[in-house]
Amino acid sequence: MRVGVLMGGWSPEKRVSLMSGKKVVEGLRQAGVRAVPLVLTAADKRTERLKKRVLSGRFDAVFIALHGAFGEDGQVQALLDQWKVPYTGSGALACGLAMHKGCSKLVFEAKKVPTAAWQAIARSTPRSRWAAEVRAGLPLVVKPADAGSAIGVTIVRDRSKLSGALAKAFRYSQWAVVERFVPGVEVTAGVLGRKVLPLIEIVPKNEFYDFDAKYTPGRSTHILPARIPAAKARRVRALALKAGEGLGCSDFYRVDLIVPRKGEPQVLEVNTVPGLTDTSLFPEAAKAAGLTFPKLLRRLVDMALKKRRG
Ligand SMILES: Nc1ncnc2c1ncn2[C@@H]1O[C@H](COP(=O)(O)OP(=O)(O)O)[C@@H](O)[C@H]1O
Ligand SMILES: [Mg+2]
């Protein structure tokens, strides 16, 4: 079996992707798979070049270890569909919906998945009107609609900071999503197939689970299983599946939630290519479910092949 591992790319999460990709190549090899790294650079924006690189490998499947734009937003998935190359994870449309937090929110609301009150603000709005457009009260979270790894995310506790936070979000996206800050325990739910993996609680040392807290060892603590009451954990598991399946996700994804002390867990987002680095949550959850990293990767490749046949 030959598997090409797509990594790198040109999104702001390129460095994270290179770390994920390296681990995936190692892990697949440990699982007895012939894994070939395919490091994408800006030159691969030329679709013909990328097509040649992918097809000339004669791969049985491609493992997508790309995060963010192009890799996680449905673009590469749509190309691989056209080229009839099986790939890991969710399909193009599900990835696109999950990547855009405004679109995800619309689906969550339609499916009755609790999510923090929100609004979208367009980059084309004149700057002088930004603050006035924001209706919700403080504190707020301002994020680019379609980025990841908490890049461009700011918690706003003071109205005078709103414009700066929006400007930061607009560096990465045409749209900003502004939502109510939800106090509570941050929990992430990995989903493999239709099974929810053990819940992990995230305790960041920083103000929130920002880029530094995510990728610098020691800047956040993972607690497994999450310290939430059993009834809440059941609800989190149900909502994680409802959120993911509502978007049309399949095979594997990771759902981020906040569990307030009172009331319903709130879904923040669904990640269709969860991090696969040393400090990443999904592999940790899989391990707690008895699945080593090589076994997990092998399962994902098998799922990709099965979809193709199906
Ligand atoms: N509504 C919210 N209330 C509280 N914290 C939030 C909220 N939205 C985001 N955060 C914090 O910001 C982090 C990143 O936000 P998230 O929506 O998961 O986007 P990303 O795709 O960048 O991971 C979360 O892990 C959490 O720590
Ligand atoms: Mg997140």
Q: What span, in angstroms and rounded, lies between the C-alpha atoms of 20 and 310? A: 28
Averaged pLDDT, 24-41: 98
For the domain covering 97-114+183-296, report its CATH number.
3.30.470.20
Residue from 97, 206, 253, 256 to probe ligand 1 pocket by mutation (most atoms less than 8 Å from CB): 256
Nearest CA to ligand 1 atom 19: 150
Q: What is the DSSP letter of 125?
A: S
What pLDDT shows up at residue 186?
97
Structure tokens at 148: 């990841």
Q: State pTM to two decimals.
A: 0.96
Q: Which ligand lies nearest to the CA atom of residue 98 in the structure?
A: 1
Is residue 244 flagged as an active site residue?
Answer: no
| Each residue's pLDDT tens digit, 136-177 | 889 999 999 998 889 999 999 999 999 999 999 999 999 999
What pLDDT shows up at residue 124?
96
For the domain covering 118-180, report its CATH number.
3.30.1490.20
Whether residue 309 is predicted with pLDDT greater than 70 in this model: the reply is no
Mean pLDDT of the chain: 96
What pLDDT shows up at residue 134?
92
What pLDDT shows up at residue 310?
54
Structure tokens at 94: 């599900």
CA dihedral (114, 116, 122, 127) in degrees, to 10, reads 170
| Each residue's pLDDT tens digit, 230-259 | 999 999 999 999 999 999 999 999 999 999
In short, whether 182's Cβ falls inside 6 Å of ligand 1 is yes
Hey, is 271 helix, strand or coil? strand
Q: Which long-range contacts (CB under 8 A, 24 or more apart) does 38-43 make?
A: 38/4, 38/5, 38/6, 38/7, 38/62, 39/7, 39/8, 40/6, 40/7, 40/8, 40/9, 40/10, 40/66, 40/70, 41/8, 41/10, 42/10
Whether residue 294 is predicted with pLDDT greater than 60 in this model: the reply is yes
Burial class (CB in 10 A: 0-12, 13-18, 19+), 193: exposed
Protein residues placing their CB within 5 Å of the ion ligand 2: 256
Q: What is the largest CA-CA distance in the chain?
A: 58
Task: Lowest mean pLDDT of 1-5, 111-115, 204-208, name the range.
Answer: 204-208
Side-chain half-sphere of 230: how many Cα atoms within 13 Å?
A: 0
The architecture that CATH gives domain 2-88 is 3-Layer(aba) Sandwich (3.40)
Please state whether the peptide bond connecting residue 225 to the residue before it is cis, i.e. omega within 30 degrees of 0: yes
| Each residue's pLDDT tens digit, 47-94 | 999 999 999 999 999 999 999 999 999 999 999 999 999 999 999 999
What pLDDT shows up at residue 141?
97
In short, whether 251's Cβ falls inside 6 Å of ligand 1 is no
Contacts of 262 (CB under 8 A, 6+ apart): none
The residues spanned by each domain of the chain are 2-88, 97-114+183-296, 118-180
CB 99 within 8 A of CB 73: yes
Nearest CA to ligand 1 atom 14: 150
What pLDDT shows up at residue 228?
98
| Each residue's pLDDT tens digit, 185-227 | 999 999 999 999 999 999 999 889 999 888 888 889 999 999 9
Band the pLDDT of 275: cuts 50, 70, 90.
Answer: very high
What pLDDT shows up at residue 255?
98
Contacts of 4 (CB under 8 A, 6+ apart): 35, 36, 38, 54, 57, 59, 61, 62, 63
Report the candidate in 57, 2, 55 with the shortest Cα–Cα distance to residue 28: 2
Q: What span, in angstroms and rounded, lies between the C-alpha atoms of 276 and 295? A: 13
